[in-house]
Amino acid sequence: MVHPILMPKPGQMTEECTLVAWLKQEGDVVAKGDVLFEIETDKSNMDVEAFDEGVLLKRVVQEGETVPVNAVCAYVGQPGEAIPDVPGGTVVATVTTAAAPAAVASAPAPTVQSARVAPPTAAAATDGARLRISPRASRLAADSGIDPRTIAGTGPEGRITERDVKAALAAPPAVAAPAPAPSIAQRPAAAPAAPAAVHTAFVPDPEDGEPRKMSRMRRVIAERLTLSATTVPQFTVTVAVDMTRILALRTEFKAAGTALTVTDFIVSATAQTLAEFPDVNSFTDGASVWPRRRVHMGLAVALPDGLVVPVIRDADHLSLEALHARAAELAAGARNGTLGPDDLTGSTFTISNLGMLGVDEFSAIINPGESAILAVSSVVPTPVAVGDGIGIRQIMKLTLTSDHRLVDGELAARFLNALRRRLQDADAFRGDVLNG
């Protein structure tokens, strides 16, 4: 029997993936668990393994092609079996899922039975005259605007590695005769001034640099946040939190051998506050509300190409030390590119922390599938009223961006005030650590 091999859906918000390398040739024997090909999502690379045994009868999707999830990438069956005709375009298999709004990020991903996602491994060299290049090298070349076909590979069988791309970028450019500067007559004629309310298309100046393509990660970020900003009525509320006692407690813990970050305290307090205010932890499409009984905290982590949001599951049930360990593990995995789909999906609320970057105050855009996001600014020594006098306190601004369809100003204010009370109660955190 012929079995289609589908492009898997690694994440709940993933709509397409790029096939970066085939590890099996047409005619090769395929056993269950064999790696068939490697794919690239907006967040990581991973292998796709076979669930069926037989022979790889046909490869439908070529290396470098980006196709929708659930598209047929290949067929596996017995030698000589007839395979379905594939007329000119990519075949997309029909996958039955429960009816749910498309915007709900927490909806379960459809089950793909013909292929499964495995942990990332090193890619193998491609065959024939095809370009042999590793996924990391391919991504760096695309982000840097360099044609990989101009690079000599030093890897096995001439495979282009990330080191080869970096060497090509570091090499001095070829010297060419300078082109004469365009005269005024050669410059594009200035377009008539448009009315102030009309948005005109960008016209590059001849002296501008060469354009470069946005990375896949940046394009996905742009699409999702544009969707959020244009379809969700968002408003912000800000409070100032006195972190003086928390910083002193952190120093005390560190001296006793327990290393914690300011983020750990913020995540813990936020998770407890979300459990107290379940509406802020829920989601709405404007017609229905999906309540979340569990708190899955997303933590934005900056990467060279953009950012990812690893998820700490059931954060309200974890101790400070457990939160610290899990956050450190996820941050390291995000920077190393070793996180799996389960680590990057299913958040019910997100924290974006720029406190380490000297930011006085900012607001963040809600992630699709959530109803609020917390922006954390820097702790700043600030003169404030203390009793009848003035004292210097360590003040941090927290800004909550909320979906006004579900969260109104009064609820946002109560949520932030409850969060502030928790962060200013150092004794409660001391008891958390002492009680394990």
In angstroms, rounded to a whole number, what is the distance separating the alpha carbons of residues 342 and 148?
A: 32
Q: Could you tell me which of 63, 173, 188 has the C-alpha nearest to residue 127?
A: 63
Catalytic annotation on 404? yes
3-state SS class at 375: strand
Rounded (10°) angle between helices 162-170 and 135-144: 30
Cβ within 8 Å of residue 74, ≥6 positions away: 4, 5, 36, 37, 56, 57, 58, 59, 60, 61
Alpha helices (runs of H) in 305-401, residue ranges in sequence order = 320-336
User: 144, 35 in Cβ contact below 8 A?
Assistant: no
Q: Could you tell me the CA-to-CA distances from 388 to 127, 242, 380, 424 in Å, in that order?
A: 78, 17, 22, 20
Residue where the block lists tokens 């794919």: 39
In angstroms, rounded to a whole number, what is the distance separating the alpha carbons of residues 294 and 274?
A: 9
Per-residue exposure over 209-221, b if at least 16 CB sit within 10 Å of its own CB, e if not: eeeeeebbbeebb
User: 324, 362 in Cβ contact below 8 A?
Assistant: no
The pairing of beta strand 349-353 with beta strand 389-403: unpaired
In angstroms, rounded to a whole number, what is the distance separating the alpha carbons of residues 250 and 18?
A: 45
Give the CA count within 13 Å in the CB-facing half-sphere of 86. 18
Per-residue exposure over 25-43, b if at least 16 CB sit within 10 Å of its own CB, e if not: eeeeebeeebbbbbbbbbb
Q: H or E element: which one contains 429?
A: helix 426-434
In angstroms, rounded to a whole number, what is the distance separating the alpha carbons of residues 21 and 223?
A: 26
Cβ within 8 Å of residue 393, ≥6 positions away: 242, 244, 381, 382, 383, 384, 386
In angstroms, rounded to a whole number, what is the distance separating the alpha carbons of residues 269 and 416?
A: 11
User: Active-site residue numbers?
Assistant: 404
